[in-house]
Amino acid sequence: MHNQLHKHSFFEICYVLEGQGVYLDDGTQYALETGTLFCSRPEIWHQIRS
């Protein structure tokens, strides 16, 4: 499951309750796992894949 590559005009704060995935932020990939807290910055292209 994943969402489309997108951006916002605001900060978005996310917390991974369970599982794992990948967060793509402005071309860089970051591993996601249970307990990860991360923030998407305004006007930066990003995507969450699990």
38/30 Cα distance (integer angstroms)? 10
pLDDT tens by residue, 15-28? 999 999 999 999 99
2 vs 8: which has the higher pLDDT: 8
- Residues 45, 27: Cα–Cα separation, whole Å: 8
What does 5-50 look like in DSSP terms, one character per residue? SB--SS-EEEE--SSEEEEEETTEEEEEETT-EEEEPTT--EEEE-
Q: What is the pLDDT of residue 23?
A: 97
pTM for the full predicted model: 0.85
